[in-house]
Chains A and B, each alone.
Chain A
Amino acid sequence: MSYVLQQLMNAFQLGSIYALIALGYTMVYGILTMINFAHGDLFMVGAFLCFVAAVFLKLSFVPVMLISMFGVALLGVVIERLAYKPLRQAPRVSAIITALGVGLFLENFTLALNPYPKQIPQLMSNTTWTILGVSISSLQAFIIVLSLLLMLILDLIVRKTMVGMAMRAISWDKATVPLMGVPMNLIISVTFAIGASLGGAAGVMYGLAYPVIDPYMGIMVGWKAFISAVVGGIGNIRGAMIGGYILGMVEILVVAFFPSTYRDFVAFALLIVLLIFRPYGILGKPQPQKV
């Protein structure tokens, strides 16, 4: 029993981080119907900013988090302005290829600065509690709570504020909304900033939970978060959260009950099966193709 609970705890921690990153994919897709494949690398930049702020500036957790979120948000906006905006009228595939290129650029830029893996220092005291034979570290609990809090805030922004309403409107109809006086470029920038800052926050939390970081850390995590977003229904914010938790859960449970070699294989196979039956994801809605 305690074994299963322990594995569930592990799954929650992993799932929270996947969910946070998946939100970045889903928001950009919701507004621009474009997949920002550079998002996993923005997450990596977040972890490196965390390292710089914690080691060179010797800051504590809260300013480190703010620096990472703000820095990555800024980077997200700059990337959108320089790389994606000129391609807004181009075929969608051009933007996706550009995004892959931007991701490679970020990886190799970080690599060129310094190729060594880095250790993130402990920014908070980490005690381990044992409840019913289950080890829960305060860090683990903190990551889960903070991720849920960030997702809740995002959900509120999208549902209750003017900016959120504008975002939803743009995703509904890109042609008419600007005519109503909605500053489309600004809203798109804000979307990129929010999505990227969540990626930055995930980078910090990932860095705290798995404290050795390297320039390639964003690739696999980025793919898994992207898949989480697709499973949940890409473009749907609550779907991204659910997708993240499902993927975390599947991965850990596969390891728990099968030989661990099957981890990625079974995880991806399950997702393929799910997408065969619900190609628009769990919470997504089928979109009629205009012919």
Chain B
Amino acid sequence: MKKAFLFVVLCMVASVFLTACSGEKGSTVRIGVIAELTGDMPAVGESCKKAAEMAVQEVNNAGGLDIDNKKYKVELFVEDNAGKADQSASAAQKLITQKKVHAIIGPNATRYAIPASEIAESSKVVLISPWSTNPKTTLDAKTNAPKKYVFRACFIDPFQGRVVAKFAMESLKVKKAAVLYDVASDYNKGIAEFFKETFEQSGGKVVAFETYTTNDKDFSGQLTKIKKASPDIIFLPNYYSEIPLQIQQAKRLGIEVPIVGSDSWGSQELLKLCGKDCEGCYFSTHYAADAATPVAAKFIEAFKTKYGVMPDDVAALTYDSFGLLWQAIKGANRVDRQAVRDALAGILKYEGVTGNMQFKEGSGDPVKSAVILRIKDGKFVYFVSANP
């Protein structure tokens, strides 16, 4: 008798809690973030997480998102993908099925964004990658048609490869280029090939096209070969943790030509790891903190006050991804996965920290401009802009 009574009481208590929880679930917007917090590029994940937390805090401090005359608070779920493709996919799965998120931001690097985007696409949940520039991220591998639920906040590599090739030929006036890239990584491989294509089409010659695999530390063999080919410039479309080794080894072999990189250089960690060796190098990226628009200046100021460091391109792009998402949710006027997706696909123009973005109908890839930065006195300095 006593036991039965206890059971009934427990049931009542449980039911109160359960209804309380489900009631709570209705009035929040749930956003997942997948970031590279550990692994081979932790600085990228850290920036992404910081910007995400800032974007969410701003909205919540203002009382939340205004949807259908009701205020919705935003709840953020950050998952670490440990710099692994499989963990990116499982993080996406976890966010979608367990955390029941309405949209996902991240992962950033292409080799992690592609597996996560497959999960998002098949589960019909919006995924915005802030930093993945490889065309394959938003394209279906089988049909080559654009994925319906995958978007990004950055330009894509054919454009970036063209920008760098054009910059090398026009501003640096070089004719012979050498490329060293990671053949095991989609991003590096893609951009190296796009660069080669444009550079040769415009009358230049790629005299050395050398490869290595992720986690290699010794590039002396490839660099000696590059030295023998005597290029006027070396293009290194590789991640910030590898660049210092490549540049130092090139210098030790007596290679003195200008070195150019891509947006994967744009981490403040590069300056820490590379020191004086990177002085005078150029790279293409998404925005220049020292030549900022009013929108960007406001973001940079807020980021610096909150974290005490300059936001890098990943932070800016993550912030823009959230901006896009807020606009979509407001446009949808309802918190529902499908509605958010439709509203996001309907955005044709967005003014962000990293410049104006224009989306073509049915495509998740924005058209936007790039900038070339130069490393000078241990800082990233604006050099020139490149428009599409």
Bind each other: yes
Chain B residues in 8 Å Cβ range of A254: 221
| A193 to B: closest C-beta gap in Å | 27
User: Given contacts A211-B245, A214-B241, is CB(A261)–CB(B224) below 8 Å?
Assistant: no
Interface contact A260-B212, CB-CB below 8 Å: yes
Q: Mark A181-225, 1 if CB is under 8 A from B, else 0.
A: 000000000000000000000000010001110101101110000
A126 to B248, CA, bound (A): 11
- Which of A10, A14, A251 counts the most chain B CB atoms within 10 A? A10
Count the B residues whose beta carbon is within 8 Å of the partner chain — how many? Answer: 36
A116 CA to B213 CA in the complex, in Å? 20
Q: How far is the CB of A130 from chain B (nearest CB, A)?
A: 7
Least CB distance from A212 to B in Å reads 5
Q: Are B273 and A212 in contact (CB under 8 A)?
A: yes
A220 and B215 contact, CB distance less than 8 A: yes
Contact residues in A for B216 (Cβ distance below 8 Å): 220
Q: CB distance A260 to B210 under 8 Å?
A: yes
Q: CB of B323 within 8 A of chain A?
A: no
Pairwise interchain contact B42-A212, C-beta atoms closer than 8 A: no
Interface centre among A11, A116, A220, A259 (most CB of B within 10 A): A116
Is the CB of A6 closer than 8 A to any CB of chain B?
A: yes
Contact of A7 among B43, B215, B221, B273 (CB under 8 A): B221
Interface membership of B40, Cβ < 8 A: yes
- A176 contacts across to B, CB distance below 8 A: none
CB of A119 within 8 Å of the partner chain: yes
Pairwise interchain contact A119-B220, C-beta atoms closer than 8 A: no
Q: Which residues of chain A are within 8 angstroms of B338 by Cβ–Cβ distance?
A: none
- Contact (Cβ within 8 A) A255 B221: yes
* Binary CB contact string for chain B from 201 to 221 against chain A (1 if under 8 A, 0 otherwise): 000000000111101111011
B252 CB-CB contact with A under 8 Å: yes
Q: Which residues of B contact A217 (CB under 8 A)?
A: 215, 217
Contact size range, A: 35 or more
Question: Smallest distance from the beta carbon of A142 to chain B beta carbons, Å?
Answer: 13
Q: Is the CB of A256 within 8 A of B217?
A: no
B38 lies within 8 A of chain A by Cβ: yes
Task: Kindly state whether residue B253 has any CB partner on chain A within 8 Å.
Answer: yes
* Alpha-carbon distance A259/B222, docked complex (angstroms): 9
- Closest chain B CB from A33 CB (angstroms): 30
- Least CB distance, A70 to chain B, in whole angstroms: 25
* B34 → A minimal CB distance (Å): 16
Total residue contacts A-B, CB cutoff 8 A: 91
Q: Which A residues lie within 8 Å of B254 (CB)?
A: 128, 130, 135
- Known A212-B273, A216-B40: A255·B225 in contact at CB below 8 Å: yes
A278 contacts chain B at the CB level, 8 A cutoff:
no
C-alpha spacing A255/B228, complex, angstroms: 13
B42 touches A115 (CB 8 A): yes
Contacting residue for B244 out of A10, A14, A211, A263, CB 8 A: A211
Q: Report how far A117 CA is from B45 CA in the complex, Å.
A: 13
Q: Which chain B residue has the least Cβ–Cβ distance from A259?
A: B211
Residues of A close to B222: CB separation below 8 A: 255, 260
Complex Cα–Cα for A139 and B274 (A): 18
Is A252 positioned at the interface, with any CB of B under 8 Å from its CB?
yes
Q: Which residues of B contact A116 (CB under 8 A)?
A: 42-43, 269
List chain A residues, Cβ under 8 A from B221. 7, 10-11, 251-252, 254-256, 260, 263
Nearest CB on B from A260, distance (A): 5
Q: Which residue of B lies closest to A139 (CB)?
A: B252
Residues from chain B with a CB closer than 8 A to the CB of A212 are 217, 241-242, 244-245, 273
A264 to B216, CA, bound (A): 10
Q: Is the CB of A135 within 8 A of B253?
A: yes
A51 vs B306: C-alpha distance when bound (angstroms): 30
Quick check: is B54 within 8 A (CB to CB) of the other chain? no
For residue B37, CB closer than 8 A to chain A, the reply is yes
Asked if A145 is at the interface (CB within 8 A of a chain B CB), the reply is no
**Minimum CB–CB distance for A205 against chain B, Å:** 12
CA distance A11 to B224 in the complex (A): 11
- B247 to chain A: closest CB distance in Å? 11
B39 at interface by CB-CB < 8 Å: yes
Minimum C-beta distance from A209 to chain B (A): 8
Q: Which residues, 109 to 154 on A, are CB-close (under 8 Å) to B? A: 111, 115-117, 119, 126, 128, 130, 135, 137, 139-140
A3 at the B interface (CB under 8 A): yes
Enumerate B214-265 residues with CB–CB distance to A below 8 Å. 215-218, 220-222, 224-225, 227-228, 241-242, 244-245, 248-249, 252-254
A contact residues around B210 at 8 Å (CB): 255, 260
A–B complex contacts, Cβ < 8 Å, 26 sampled: A3-B224, A6-B253, A7-B221, A10-B224, A14-B220, A115-B39, A115-B42, A116-B42, A117-B241, A119-B244, A135-B252, A210-B217, A210-B218, A210-B245, A211-B244, A212-B242, A212-B273, A217-B215, A217-B217, A221-B217, A254-B221, A255-B221, A255-B222, A256-B224, A260-B222, A263-B212
Report the 7 A-B pairs with minimum CB-CB distance, sorted nearest first.
Answer: A255-B221, A10-B220, A115-B38, A210-B217, A115-B42, A252-B221, A117-B241
Given A7-B221, A117-B273, A119-B272, 5 more contacts at CB 8 Å?
A111-B38, A128-B252, A212-B244, A217-B215, A263-B221
